[in-house]
Amino acid sequence: MAGENGGHEKLALDPAVREDASRRLRSIKGHVEGILRMLERDDVYCVDALKQIKAVNGALAKTGDTILRCHLKHHVVTAHERGDDDAIVAELMDVLKYR
């Protein structure tokens, strides 16, 4: 049975990138909690909430880009050497349809 990473058990996220992404996501979590607190107020202005949501979207996109760059650099460029070109390409196409 394939693991969480689609049968690529030897292909793990670089520890430095994993820590950076974790740090970013903790920050994003705090930002989202701030937006929730903002929305609990009766005087919240729609545009202020939208600006904060846009900031979170940008932070999530940057985090995703960081992880994608790592994947491309460490796993995609070496796929041919491992003999899993087709699997990596299929996996990437699946991931990129959500971007």
75: CATH? 1.20.58.1000
Domain count, the chain: 1
**Would the pLDDT of 16 be above 50?**
yes
pLDDT interval class at 78 (50, 70, 90): confident
- Spatial distance between the Cα atoms of 89 and 31, rounded to a whole number of angstroms: 34
Q: Which domain holds residue 19?
A: 15-96
**pLDDT for 8 beyond 70:** no
**Count of alpha carbons within 13 Å of 45, Cβ hemisphere only?**
3
Q: Is residue 4 in a domain?
A: no
Whether the per-residue pLDDT at 2 is higher than 50: the answer is no
33 assigned to some structural domain: yes
